[in-house]
Amino acid sequence: MRLWIRAAAVRRRVICLWLLLLCFALVTLALSDLFNKDQGHSLENPGPPRRPLQRIQSAPDLEIIVDSWDPALELGMDVAPLNSLQEDQLLYVASTHRTKNPPQRKVSYKVIIPGSNKDSTPPALPTHGATEKGVKQHPEATGLELSAVEKYGFNEVISESISLHRRLPEARHPQCLGEQYSESLPSASVIICFNDEAWSTLLRTVHSVLDTAPKQYLQEVLLVDDLSQHGHLKSVLSEYVSHLDGVRLIRSTKRLGVGGCRTLGAARAAGEVLVFMDSHCECQKGWLEPLLERVAQDRTRVVSPIMDVINWQTFQYNATQWPVRGVFDWRLDFSWESYPPLQDKEPDSAVQPVPSPALGGGVVAIDRHFFHSVGAYDPGMLLWGGEQIELSIRVWSCGGSMEVVPCSRVAHVDHHHLSYLLPDQEVLQRNKIRIADTWMDAYRKIFYRRDTLAHFIRQSESPNITERLRLKRSLGCRTFHWYLTTVYPQLYIPQDRPAVSGELYNVGTGSCADLPRRHRLLGGSMIVAPCSGTGNQHCDLNSDSEVRWGPMGALCLDAEGERVVASPCPKQRPSSSRLQWKFIKLSGQLVHQQSQLCVEAVKEGGVTQSTRAGTAGLFLRPCTHQPRQQWHFEQLVAPKVYP
């Protein structure tokens, strides 16, 4: 009997405990529902925009999923739907704040250092026009610089100390200040794509556009987030953008790369002219009107401003000297080159736009309907790299033109010095393979001989370019031979004859003739360096007895005293035997025809006649049979035309 009574008592205690737990759960649910109601009420009345990386408690999520979207309705029935942009890839944030001048607060915020448990509080960002002289090193920059540079490719600590409304010094030619533009210029949509961009550079780009573009011409600024992962580009950015008039934020739910991201922005744009802009730019006053004027005069014209340079370490502004134009070499690498012959064409050449074989991707303006009709960006291009060259060749070949407009200036942060910021090398090569196979016709064999990685990738797989070839035929595009002879006749076409082209290998040193990277544009003293096997050291002894060096073939082997140098090749046939060479295949000697001396390789620390210890490079010496004067032209890739 006693055992039964004890068991009953235990059961009563267990039942009481369960009842207490149930009551506690009900109270917790009630309090949670009340808290959610208060949070929903706060969403209806959001506060002023906050600074980046500031701790936001329960930050509101303003991203709105697009329920339906028909590109044909957005763009008009004359534009083909963009099948590469599916509805599940789009997120959209509209501006909800209609005030022209959003409130600016001078606040401090904490910077969270990756990989560190400590944080530091830099001074508040200034809110009004700091000039270049106001750029100062942050006291703790030495401790933050490394992580900031590794993360973004530039000194983000310095960037954070600069105003979002910085005014750049005037760099336009005085004649530009008196230029008059039409009062009925087309409207513009400025499209800024970004992926994990630093807050300061991204917002400085946006505010630079808003501060310098006339309101009557600026239809909108479209920020297109290409699947960023950094926290400050999520709800914090959404809230900030919601307070900016005329700024919209579009998010992609999958990584599109530069071309796909810009095409996405173009599909959502409302302006007549699309202005694609990188997410780390600063605009000069009066930059937009000259671009719109040129496009309005010819809707098939694609234009770029002069791209000035913002130093990645100090963020100092450096004006680019006019005239310049965009070019590329036989490895399909883009560069801006100085083009002095343009200066003497006309008295007012300082303000006259200049045709350009290619344009960089920093800032490009193009008519919206022409952009779509000519094929937008190639959807098969991965991440980034080469898309600007592909667009340039296609625009020129398919009825358009390209030019640099000197009265328009936009500065761009230069961070291409960091190789780890480049996409995976094979991704870049696959983009170049698409360009070569689609547009270069039989000339693509020159590309494959200078880019051995692309050659080996192409041997194992073929790009799917069926749609691009169909577009090429439907647009009636011209051949690459036409492009070379009409648009870019200055690009040297290598002969690549067997046994006298390829890497110039030295038997005695086991190295190849090379040129330091810093001299590869204007030339300098030749050196010997480990053979790269990439095609960067390609040499071509042509029928004019010139030894052309490098992927562009614009530099010729020359002699300055006893030293062998590379200098710009003459525009016409060589008039001096100083630039002429003879290769004796039997002995492997490379003979300078003017002096009848042979090229000898000297490695660092080597000692030869009249050569000081420690001097390295290529020198002219009396011809002997020693191994340092024996050379071989080694073709890395067998001549081949791909189907």
Mean pLDDT of the chain: 79
| 594, burial (CB in 10 Å: exposed 0-12, middle 13-18, buried 19+) | middle
Of the candidate ranges 297-301, 454-458, 467-471, 497-501, the one whose mean pLDDT is the lowest: 497-501
Higher pLDDT, 408 or 610: 408
Task: Identify the sign of the CA torsion 158, 164, 169, 175.
Answer: positive
Residue 65 in this model has a pLDDT that exceeds 60? no
- At 571 the pLDDT is 76
pLDDT category at 157 given cuts 50, 70, 90 is confident
Q: Which residue has the tokens 């291409």?
A: 416
pLDDT of residue 51: 40
Residue 587 to residues 510, 582, 599, 602, 607, Cα–Cα distance (Å): 16, 12, 12, 18, 23
pLDDT at 22: 76
Instruction: Answer for the pair 50, 239: CB distance below 8 angstroms, yes or no.
Output: yes
Return the closest-CA partner of residue 358 out of 381, 328, 329.
328
Contact by Cβ (8 Å): 120, 140: yes
Share of the chain above pLDDT 70, in %: 72
CB 593 within 8 A of CB 577: yes
Predicted pLDDT of residue 630: 96
Give pLDDT tens digits for 69-98: 333 333 333 333 344 444 334 554 554 444
The residue-averaged pLDDT of 223-244 equals: 92
- Tell me the sheet residues that pair with 516: none
Q: Which residue has the higher pLDDT, 38 or 198?
A: 198
pLDDT value of position 31: 62
Q: Taking residues 117-134, what's their average pLDDT?
A: 32
Average pLDDT over residues 12-38: 66
pLDDT band of 344, cuts 50, 70, 90: low
The confidence band for 338, taking pLDDT boundaries of 50, 70 and 90, is confident
Per-residue pLDDT, 640:
55
Indicate if the pLDDT at residue 34 is higher than 60: no
Cα→Cα distances 503→287, 329, 587, 633, Å: 45, 17, 17, 6
For 38-51, what is each residue's pLDDT tens digit?
444 443 334 334 34
Range name among 267-276, 440-449, 548-557, 588-597 with the lowest pLDDT average: 548-557
Mean local confidence (pLDDT), 294-319: 94
pLDDT at 504: 94
pTM summary value: 0.76
Helix axes 387-397, 425-439, angle to 10 degrees: 10
Which has more confidence, 464 or 21?
464
pLDDT score of 33:
54
- More confident of the two residues 190 and 143: 190
Residue 497: exposure state from Cβ atoms within 10 A (0-12, 13-18, ≥19): middle
What is the pLDDT at residue 4?
53
Apex 358 CA angle, 352 and 362, nearest 5: 85
Question: What is the per-residue pLDDT for 2?
Answer: 55
The predicted structure's pLDDT at residue 347? 59
Neighbours of 187 (CB within 10 A): 16
Does residue 346 contact residue 354 with C-beta atoms inside 8 Å? no
Give the separation between CA 329 and CA 554, rounded to whole angstroms: 9
User: Between the CA of residue 601 and those of 49, 57, 495, 511, 597, what are the distances in Å?
Assistant: 64, 67, 25, 9, 13
Express as a percent the part of the chain with pLDDT over 90. 53
pLDDT at residue 118, as a whole number: 31
- Tell me, what's the pLDDT at 612? 42
Question: Taking the CA atoms of the chain, what radius of gyration do you get in angstroms?
Answer: 31
Give the pLDDT of residue 616.
81
Q: What are the tens digits of pLDDT across the range 394-443?
A: 999 999 999 999 999 999 998 654 444 555 678 889 999 999 999 999 99
Q: Is residue 133 pLDDT above 70, yes or no?
A: no
Find the mean pLDDT for residues 211-240: 93
- State residue 447's pLDDT score: 93
Lowest mean pLDDT among 52-66, 202-216, 265-279, 528-542: 52-66
Q: Is the pLDDT of residue 19 over 90?
A: no
pLDDT of 280: 93
- By the 8 A CB rule, do 107 and 127 touch? no
CB atoms within 10 A of CB 40: 10
pLDDT band of residue 99 (cuts 50, 70, 90) is very low
pLDDT at 57 over 80: no
Q: What is the DSSP string of 241-301?
A: HTTSTTEEEEEESS--HHHHHHHHHHHH--SSEEEEE-SSEEEPTT-HHHHHHHHHH-TTE
pLDDT digits 0-9 by tens, 430-489: 999 999 999 999 999 999 988 888 999 998 988 999 999 999 999 999 999 999 999 999
